[in-house]
Amino acid sequence: MGYLLPEHSSALRYGSLLAEQVLSRSLGWHAGDLYDVTTVSEIDSSARPANRFAQLLRVEVALPHMPHHYRVCLLDDEILSFLEEHLDIDLVSLITFIMTHELLHVHRFSTGKADFFGDPVSEEVVVDALTRVILAKYPVIGLKRVLSLLDRLKAAPLYNGHIMNEPRCVDAYL
């Protein structure tokens, strides 16, 4: 099992920034302070899902009138294993894809376009399709390889009905 190391932090920041910019241009939406990012090394490993790149958690807020806060938990070992298997994919491009996907969830939940506690399979299908359509419009170096590879791989397991692992978590099957 590998973990994202401090030397990966610039790739994580840059990929996240690219994802925010893509969504800002595509949707006119700014994530602002609605989310934060952690890695599996920073969370309780018993709550960690398997075979996913990320997990989106909704953090309960203290006051009911405050907007919900979301936490994107990147699953280090899954990301690094995927990169080891697919040497033509770079970390920044993969993080950009993952973060675009996760931030689309945040956008949909925070704007009321989707219910965090709604049907997770439908939500994953919609967000996966939107992620691919939105990213196809932007010539970010390396993203074409990520999208092509994901299109060639076996169908994503998001159709298997096990996306929700607990009431307040949505697991991302990418």
CB atoms within 10 A of CB 99: 28
Asked whether residue 1 is domain-assigned, the answer is no
pLDDT along the chain (174 residues), means of 10: 66 90 93 86 62 86 85 88 91 93 96 92 89 85 84 54 43 46
Asked whether residue 40 is domain-assigned, the answer is yes
Asked whether residue 69 is domain-assigned, the answer is yes
CATH, residue 79: 3.40.390
Please list the alpha-helical segments (H only) found in the chain.
9-27, 76-85, 91-110, 120-136, 143-152
Largest Cα–Cα distance in the chain? Answer: 46
89: left (phi over 0), alpha (psi -120 to 50) or beta: beta
pLDDT of residue 43: 63
Asked whether residue 107 is domain-assigned, the answer is yes
The residue among 16, 97, 9 whose CA lies nearest residue 53 is 97
What is the residue type of 127? V
pLDDT of residue 160: 39
pLDDT of residue 27: 93
pLDDT of residue 168: 45
Asked whether residue 161 is domain-assigned, the answer is yes
pLDDT of residue 157: 41
Number of compact structural domains in the chain: 1
Domain that holds residue 131: 6-172
Phi and psi dihedrals of 63, rounded to 5? Answer: -110, 135
Residue 141, token pair as written in the block: 């170096």
pLDDT of residue 4: 65
Asked whether residue 57 is domain-assigned, the answer is yes
Asked whether residue 10 is domain-assigned, the answer is yes
pLDDT of residue 118: 92
pTM above 0.85, yes or no: no
pLDDT of residue 42: 64
